[in-house]
Structure 1
């Protein structure tokens, strides 16, 4: 079957089943899948596992004691060439328990609203419909397809590193099921993301009787926050955001402790490393003598997804497939992080934003555009069955990139 006929067949297949898609999405969005709510995530994982089994996948539910269970499906293909494609998804959402019950799926014209409808339950479901259509066509030219759905994407404390390595170490390409941008663009590059905590240790004293005996941790921390914020933009695309700050116990006590947490976004790992060097130099420029400063980087650095030549070729493939489906397609850089960072870590070319079009993630107005579901499912199906040429394939044998090895 030629690619044009295939993607049009997938689009028609999904479009004819949109009523069922909406019913399925209503069920999936009803599960309370807040990252820290294991029971709800496990319910959603069991439901998704049943759907994968119906697609003839070999399904493994990875039991987690303290977190939601993860899900891995493997589908052998009909191809004899070395083409292992990975679909990356996540089941967790940012919404506290009770939100899904309060705001069940509703439709307003072409828009579907619900917690997690765009990030990323509607995207997972669109991928399942794409695979269902390929199964109906009996067309699986890849060697193996791996579908990984983890439960810890929305937080920085990750437990899925082992699974990511398992599915990506020998993969040829990765397709990430985050939603397309609100303007319809897919994502070919993402900034890296690192978090830091800066702690200031001073000395307490009575604020009225003998303040001169104190060492004000808040004043020193405030000074350091302003110094660091001044580095934002010193390299292309680099942003530094102080997000949380705390300190002190009472207004009549010179505070002996304060801390601030920072978000750093960067285009290249070398930008992060250079920023850290400048930051450490700034920490030596203190305002309050006698205050001790301590800087700690958060675990689980998210690596930047760089638009490598292989990723560029994948983006061009996506644009060609979109043209067969009758719509233009752009690929863009975004500052938001995703599990595409794991693909970057293992040198696997990746495209992101391959779900239906949506927006207002993490808000009460999160939405998905219904009419984008058939075309984006067909786009995904086209990418699944279109391997990269050998000269632009991934770093072989699961070798991490040199920059990633330095930072891992």
Structure 2
């Protein structure tokens, strides 16, 4: 094992390289679902991974989307992340990568391209990566539809999962995340002429209006559970009683029980208008990441920080979800927030602190070394 006290010095020597790579990766756009862009980004990242891991990535292609997997036979640690972003192609021309006074900006710089750069820098500091697996997916921002089973399979054969999503702006690691559900509730009525004989119709817009108020009342502020009606579409023409109306609903909760409660209630909705019908699509997407699966790893991260002379990071609860929700729900020890120190994800103000990158890479490396050295 390398002397951990030397890790910070070694990481500092890589600081300029990390900033250079971050610029390359941010400039290599990876918008959701764009196979040519995602493939080009995978090509770039695959080379970095092979250089530090000493083995090529297996490209797992599902529905054309290229996920990158470096598995290990005895996988004690899995590093997890994603290289897709929320930003559409062409954003980089209007908002190019830049570094000002130690702060990097650009599309995806915090969520989560700086985390990928730090991940590979950290692996370069680890003496033996033969028991470390890496999985980088490319559909996290669109719900991890094609990658979820891959994530879960790799998590179940790992001793611990370290998620390289961003930390809090203060540098805290993430020991809890809300789970989430998405629903599409469709009201089915009967069309009729809105001016001549509206009484012959069953107004789906009115029916869905009742359902909006019903589902909104399922929220529980005391439990931190939000139930938010979002997208709404109804009708065809201004002079026709709407035959269908569709409502999307976003649900977030800290506990599995709360997600299940809301799920049962939404699936049990009843119509208010005679003759109307309801159909419900969607459901629970991610159960919460709960502290009991993360706190032992937080303690290990705090001990690793002390080993290399860094202040021990704190643990934080984050309302947003990540692929760590999947691994935590399987009861696999999972710690999130080991990526960039930054904020503003999904917004034009997105940023990452490049001055923190060497120390965060060293922290990740020290944590990996500590986990590899622990009894299995």
TM over 0.5: yes
Partner of 1:123 in structure 2? 115
Name the SS for the 2:157 alignment partner. Answer: coil
Alpha-carbon spacing, 1:307–1:292, altered in 2? closer, same or farther (3 Å): same
Paired with 1:331 and 1:56, the residues of 2 have a C-alpha distance of: 29
Contact conserved, 2:60 with 2:69, CA < 8 A, in 1? Answer: no
Q: Which residue of 2 aligns with 1:79?
A: none
CA distance in 1, matches of 2:245, 2:159: 47
Structure 2: unaligned runs, 5 residues or longer = none
Corresponding residue pairs, total: 375
Whole-angstrom CA distance in 2 between matches of 1:17 and 1:390: 27
Provide the secondary structure at the position in 2 that maps to 1:59.
coil
- Segments of structure 1 that go 5 or more residues without pairing to the other structure are 77-81, 394-408
1:31 aligns with 2:37: no
Alignment of 1:9-408 (within 5 A): 9-64=6-61, 66-74=63-71, 84-134=76-126, 139-140=127-128, 144-156=131-143, 158-233=145-220, 236-281=223-268, 283-284=269-270, 286-298=271-283, 301-308=285-292, 310-324=293-307, 325-387=309-371
Contact 1:357–1:368 under 8 Å retained in 2: yes
- Cα 1:95/1:35, change in 2 over 3 Å: same
**How far 1:101 sits from its partner (Å)?**
3.1
- In 2, the alpha carbon distance for the partners of 1:16 and 1:267 equals 41
Query: 2: CA distance between counterparts of 1:127 and 1:171?
Result: 17
C-alpha distance 230-65 of structure 1, shift in aligned 2 (>3 A): closer
Between 1:315-324 and 1:222-231, the stretch displaced more is: 315-324
SS of residue matched to 2:11:
helix
The answer to whether the Cα contact below 8 Å between 2:110 and 2:350 also exists between their aligned partners in 1 is yes
**C-alpha distance in 2 between matches for 1:121 and 1:277:** 38
Provide the rounded CA distance (Å) in 1 between the counterparts of 2:273 and 2:180: 30
CA distance in structure 1 between the partners assigned to 2:267 and 2:140 by the alignment: 30
Distance of 2:134 and 2:144 partners within structure 1: 22
What's the CA shift for 1:259? 0.5
Q: CA RMSD in A?
A: 2.2
Q: What is the CA-CA distance between 1:358 and the residue it aligns to?
A: 0.9
